[in-house]
Structure 1
Amino acid sequence: MRYQLRDEAGASRSVAYLLMGAGPFMLVTGVILPDHRSPASVVTFVLLTFLLCGAGALCRWRPERVPHVFWLIAPFFGIGMVSVLNLATRDASTGSQLFYLWPVLYAANFLSRVVNYLTIAMVSAGNAAVVFSILGPNVGLSDWASLTVAMMLTAVVVASLRGRNERLREVLETQAYADPLTGVANRRSFDGALARAVESAHRTGEPIALMTLDIDHFKKINDTWGHGVGDQALQLVADALRRVARGRDDVVGRLGGDEFVVLMRTDRMAARRAADEVRAAVSAIETLPGGPPGLSIGVAVLPDHAGTVIELGAASDAALYEAKEGGRGRTAMAHPPAPRHNVDQVPSATFTS
């Protein structure tokens, strides 16, 4: 999204530290340091100090109470606050202008490129209002141009570093959640996706299917043709599964060895057709020296065969075991669970000795 906020927790801390730092700074510059101050200005600066510190404490320890939109407009609030303070204190020094760094760094770290551009433009406008009114057009022009260029370069550097960090994080997440050989989800990633799918199915009533499969006589492939061909077989099977599991929320995973799993948002009949598609896709493989590998497949559907994550996994595993026991190279559908009887409904003759 164009105005999406990145890392709300970090943004809230950044705003909190700004406000809690601005409060004491305002007290020092507006009350303690000036040689001449009126009672009204003292009261104003003291009240503003408490207000800023209180707002900073709220952002730091109760950020959930702050409207979400505030984190998006925070840099513009900061620009306005710095500009007003500089104008009120008639301070156009380099030190006072450096406070514009905060909204620039905030936008470059947490907000989109569009907001970053707007922040630079607002900083430039706010600084122009300060330096031109205090220093005059000649000196003010030099200060304004220098600050604008410096802030632009700062934003570019910080935004590029953020982009690099995001790309690195994506690579690390891929390595943490993907099987390194086949590129499909690893067990950790797949277990999380399955748990979320079951929770969603309970909420919406839509069925989900779990397909568990392994390559028949995979050890023989490794022993006959070598582990390189075995790895190639695993990669080709994973590719075939990805082509079949083409739904937006479908997930293909490798649990280890030659065992794969496929999660699909579909019913029993569609799951059976998907298993047939997988078998057809694998049988079309022509690049392996020993020919296409055989597959044993077990399929279970929630709520037809299970009601929980554990039950769904167990039902799919049992169907896979049945496929193997039936001679391998086949698909087995899980059986509906046995009906559970209430003890009060069991005939009394059952308990007679």
Structure 2
Amino acid sequence: MKTKITNLQPGMIVGEDIYNLKNSLNLKKGQKLDRDMIDLILKSDITEIEIMDSNASIGFIQKTFEELPNIIDETIYNKWIDSISDLFHHFTKEEIYVSLNNITEEIYKSLNVKEYFVLNFINSFGNDSLTYHSLNTAIIVSIIAKKIEIPYIMYKQTVKFSLIHDIGYAMLDDRVINDFDSDDKNALIHNIVAYKKLQDLKATLNHEILESILYHHERYDGKGKFHLKGEKIPPLVRITQVADAYTSLTELGYTPYQALSWILKKCGFIFDPYYVGLLYEITGYYPTGTKVKLSDGSIGIVLRRNEIEFFPEVLVNNEPVKTGPDSNVYIKEVIE
């Protein structure tokens, strides 16, 4: 049904794809509205939008970019999703956390950092969106952690934390997608709720992971809720924040290029510049999915970065094209 934008409420489900160039508004059918999205809609020239009957929508699954291969084989992806979903639905059962170790080890074995990745994830726009977001965040965190060759025991702690960093939303049953700049009540309390409810599992999760859950929205400039600053913020948090933001923003409809630009603007304020730099090393200046116009006039989508980050591999008419001096083909502009 069509609903006036002044009557929109957080939790409503978008019933149509919405794109508004003026306000960089890009919403997908099936997406759940939060306060940030509603504020963007109110600032646009849109007067009403289609809203789904909440009883009719149970969510659906979609690749970020249908024409590109997944970062992980879909069968493996779904297996991990099922394990994370079990954990989120039975978060007080100690034995469930054994699956955290298993997923972490499998992610470690599945990702070869010597490769340049096609950063194409599967998302859910609906009830399971938190599960997919958590796995996608952990995959990026794993790539960063392996790239800087942190000790395996630290790697495991970091990836396990990234898998459950937002578990508080599973306890609250209502997620805020971009919660870095949100005043929504659940965004403000989800970390505290999780920290308190998981105290009985301290021996299983350990103190470092629990503290990181509590502090995972601290700001690098010290202006977060607990006023931790810089390297006083746990390293598990600082490495996970950049991946959390990237996956959240692309889930909301930001292009990967826009998501990286947003993170760069917050570098040194919300995010640790060191880990922002590492994220750029993985994605390149033009991340997977960026739509570009090449010097020969053709239009394509960036597949992955190459050795030189400014010269990525681009998919044009389903054929990979290498940009740079060897091919004499260059990216002329990004198409938003």
- Please confirm whether the aligned pair reaches a TM-score higher than 0.5, indicating the same fold: no
Max Rg structure:
1
Shorter-chain TM-score range:
under 0.3
> What is the TM-score with the length of structure 1 in the denominator?
0.22
More relative contact order, 1 or 2 (CA 8 Å, 6+ apart): 2
More helix by share: 1
Greater percentage in strand: 2
